[in-house]
Chains A and B, each alone.
Chain A
Amino acid sequence: MTKEDAYLEAFDLYADALFRHAYFRVSDREKAKDLVSDAFMKTWDYLHKGNTVDDFRPFLYRTINRLIIDEYRKKKTESLDALLEDEHVPSGAFEELIEGSLEKLEWELDAKQVPELLSAMPEAYREVVVMRYLDGLMPAEIADMLGESVNTVSVRIHRGMQWLARYVEGQK
């Protein structure tokens, strides 16, 4: 398979997922389309310079994530870091914490609520929750894409789930 074929196959495989990912990150359909298109073009630029991409999926997610962050920067009113103060949760407790949050949510969450929930969620949490549960990426993969530690990512996911649980509770 040529590079061109592999690239177009990646488009066929991941364009929809990337669009969905982008949509729930920026809450704007047209902007999400632009982001997907830009992500593919930037990937092509990378190939055009003589580079090789072994696995398009993480590469495309990394690329679109950078574009989304740029997009977010245009609108941000406070830094992501300010939203996420480190609480030094011991490592190893993350999965348990996440699962604990999940249990409660799973009984109470209505699928129809999801778009609204994601739209209302703070960007710092939405980013990792979408990657983890919508895109099905593992915390280690997300950490790699975001350039963060696995622990940091796990804490963010956990807090995102806590936020969701509180939000759902408040909706009742």
Chain B
Amino acid sequence: MKSFRTQLKKGTMSVALSCEEREAMRGRIVEYMEFLPLARDLTPITSEASAVRSWRLFGSRHIVGALAVALMVTTTTYSVTNAATDALPGDLLWPVKVHVNEGVKTVFVNGDEAQVAWERERMELRLEEASSLAAQGRLDAERQDVVSKQFAIQAEAAVEKVREIETRDPVLAAEASAELADTLDTHKAVLARMVVEQEAEGVVEEGARTFVEEVHRAAFDAESLREETEKNLSLVEETDVATSGDELPNEEVDNVSQVDTNVTDGNASATVQTTDGVVQEKKNRAAQRARDRATDLQTRAEELIEARDQTDKIVPLAREQVVTAGVLIAEGDAALTDGSLSRAYGAFRQAASILHKTIALLKVAETYNPELTQGMLEEYPVASETANIQESHGDGGTEEVQARLPSTNATGFEASAAESPVSREEVVRMTDEVQGMLAERKNGDNASFNGDAYRYLKDAIASTFRADIALSLGNTEEAVILLSQAYARATAARDLLKGVDSADSTSNPPHDPALETIPEEISPEVVATSTLSVRHSFDDLVHTYEGVIPNISCVAVDAHLSVAEVPHTVLSLALTTTPLTSEDACEGQSVSYRATTSAPAAVDLISILLNGEAVSWSIEEVVSREESTVPPQTESLIRRTIEGAQKMLGGE
């Protein structure tokens, strides 16, 4: 009897390493052993091949001086390379760290995924070094020059690696570019924040400001790369799907560009099915990988949180981010179950992005100035669309109210925002006051008002943060506008809360004497609207949507625009009716609304919600978007600046 095992062995023995392959692999492993000798044995393992390779590595002119000195204090490779691990630009051993430690590791990294991750990691090391120097006030012009040059080399290498793999693995390229963009965004924000803080204390080094600009530019490029790689995935889909006739997958709008219903040939159909399968497989893989990345980051974030002192203020804030990411992962899972792969990908990517930033900030908190980092998270506590509002109750207990908040560039106050410049201190004072008022709210009867106030507050904080970034980049004009917007939003939040408190109070009469004769409560009545007529205009980078809701009484309309970008930039208009306390306004009437937001020209309005219910609409373009003369680069820069702040807050 032929043994299955024998047959299997016989059939597989031809698969073996050649002598050359085996020797080469062994040589590399011996080199690796030499690079990382066991701690107890500091005697380097020697081999002829590895000795030649090592001397080649150590032969760089840049590091000869550093090595010469280093070798005076220690005689082992182990000690030199380990001592260099914590070196910063300008330190004696820093060249050893960059050219030897990292150079050797580069040689040993195998495979596209590991290589692209390593290039990004190297770039991030430079950013961390710069942050460390900036936090210590040591990022002077000389050190900045050193770190900038190396950062530029490594950022370019990371981008090049993504470009290299784009053709053979577009899914990995999209993922890698997203990680690259996240990394740069996070560090840009951290560095910018440090510069602003230090500037306030008058200790900022000019080199730090210059470096922030460089990181900002790199982040700009990385974001473009991410958009491009994700678009390439979509383009592949569109090209493939466009010929697929009746086999079109109908689960996702963004899949479908054009349907050719004339394709009836059997062969064509078979080809289409195959192509469709490839597209779906690619999308599925992208979604699965994004999920893997998000869950891995979730685990890492949880580990970092666990490792911290649990009384640290940063802990609950970081936990909140992790919970938010968990919600997004769950949403992604649900989308996967529904077969909506793009939605799933978007949710997983957002989750990964939030976690990436949380981890980065936790690391910053570990290494640098804890007070600074705590301040950053404390000041921007709501890091996601889903914000938890703590409401105190009379019995002393608390209840978490989930408030679905739109993204941070929901506006409506921009028109009056820039009228008078305000200082950052004034803005901070006002936001502090609103935070205090929210914290002191005694009951949950007006959760919607709290939610609105909270949203305004979040907008104010986001605008402040954007102003910080603008300031750090020397764009004072933009910073002034942003601070004014922030102040307007914070004031609106305060006024809203004050108004509600006055109305709620049984001991204090309403401020407006006219209201004294008004019935205590008038139920809002909203007659079902048919199709809403909306006027849209786009001017000076601001989209304005306005119109009226007919046949509506006893209400005011609050309008908000929110922006999302998965996978395209889209806008949602949320209209909320609130009861009026004035009888005069209760006659049958049409109530007007108006909402504005800053966003790129190429956006789509995807939904209008009236009290949470979707309504249909017809749109009238007052100013064609195509007529916009705004340079695309400016739009992109502004959008990215906004997104940088949003991402820092964890929302999209």
Contacts and interface: CB of A to CB of B under 8 A. Distances in A.
Interface size class of A (residues with CB under 8 A): 35 or more
Interface string B153-182: 000000000000000000010000000000
Nearest to B169: A74
Contact of B32 (A34, A41, A78, A136): A41
A15 interface: yes
B511 interface: no
Interface in B1-37: 1-5, 7-12, 14-17, 21-22, 25-26, 28-30, 32-33, 36-37
A3 interface: yes
Interface in B411-442: none
A75 interface: yes
Given A4-B45, A7-B33, A36-B25, A106 B1 contact: yes
Given A102-B4, A106-B3, A133-B5, A15 B25 contact: yes
Contacts of B21: 33
Interface string A1-31: 0111001100100011001100110000001
Given A34-B110, A77-B281, A133-B5, A45 B36 contact: yes
A88 interface: no
A7 B26 CA distance: 11
Given A11-B26, A20-B15, A41-B29, A73 B292 contact: yes
A73 B288 contact: yes
B340 interface: no
A84 interface: no
A133 B42 CA distance: 42
Interface stretch (A56-64, A109-117, A146-154): A109-117
Interface residues of B, number: 43
Contacts of B33: 4, 7, 44
B22 A76 contact: no
Nearest to A18: B17
A93 interface: no
B31 to A, nearest CB: 10
Contact of B11 (A16, A23, A73, A114): A114
A109 B22 contact: no
A122 B392 CA distance: 56
A172 B288 CA distance: 37
Contacts of B10: 111, 114
B38 A4 contact: yes
Nearest to A129: B8
A105 interface: yes
B108 interface: yes
Nearest to A37: B25
B2 A33 contact: no
Contacts of A102: 4
B113 A74 contact: yes
A36 to B, nearest CB: 7
B39 interface: yes
B111 interface: yes
Interface string A134-165: 10100000000000000000000000000000
Contacts of A133: 4-5, 8
Contacts of A169: none
B288 A19 contact: no
B143 interface: no
B624 to A, nearest CB: 43
B286 to A, nearest CB: 11
B463 interface: no
Contacts of A76: 285, 288
Given A37-B25, A44-B36, A73-B288, A23 B111 contact: no
A5 to B, nearest CB: 10
B41 interface: yes
A102 B3 CA distance: 8
Interface in B267-322: 281, 284-285, 288-289, 292
Contacts of A95: none
B554 to A, nearest CB: 54
Contacts of A7: 33
Nearest to B36: A48
B289 A114 contact: no
Contacts of A111: 7-8, 10-11
B36 A19 contact: no
Contacts of B39: 48, 50
A125 interface: no
Contacts of B288: 73, 76-77
A19 B4 contact: no
A8 B25 CA distance: 12
B571 to A, nearest CB: 34
A94 interface: no
Contact of A33 (B25, B32, B113): B25
Contacts of A78: 284
A24 B1 contact: no
B16 A19 contact: yes
Nearest to B292: A73
B136 to A, nearest CB: 30
B285 A24 contact: no
A83 interface: no
A118 B7 CA distance: 12
A111 B36 CA distance: 43
Interface string A31-43: 1011011101100
Interface string B456-469: 00000000000000
Contacts of B172: 74
Interface string B71-104: 0000000000000000000000000000000000
A114 B16 CA distance: 15
A115 B111 CA distance: 24
B122 to A, nearest CB: 18
B32 A44 contact: yes
A77 B284 contact: yes
A120 interface: no
A140 to B, nearest CB: 18
Given A37-B110, A106-B3, A106-B7, A15 B17 contact: yes
Interface in B182-204: none
Which of A16, A74, A102 gathers the greatest number of chain B CB atoms within 10 Å? Answer: A74
A89 interface: no
Given A4-B33, A77-B284, A47 B4 contact: no
Contacts of A47: 38
Interface string B236-270: 00000000000000000000000000000000000
A115 B16 contact: no
5 contacts: A8-B26, A74-B172, A109-B7, A111-B8, A111-B10
Interface of B: 1-5, 7-12, 14-17, 21-22, 25-26, 28-30, 32-33, 36-41, 45, 108, 110-111, 113-114, 172, 281, 284-285, 288-289, 292
Considering the complex of A and B, which 3 residue pairs feature the smallest CB-CB distances, nearest first? A114-B11, A111-B11, A34-B110
Given A8-B26, A34-B111, A37-B28, 15 more contacts: A8-B29, A11-B29, A24-B12, A36-B25, A38-B111, A44-B36, A48-B39, A50-B40, A74-B172, A76-B285, A106-B2, A109-B4, A111-B7, A113-B11, A136-B5
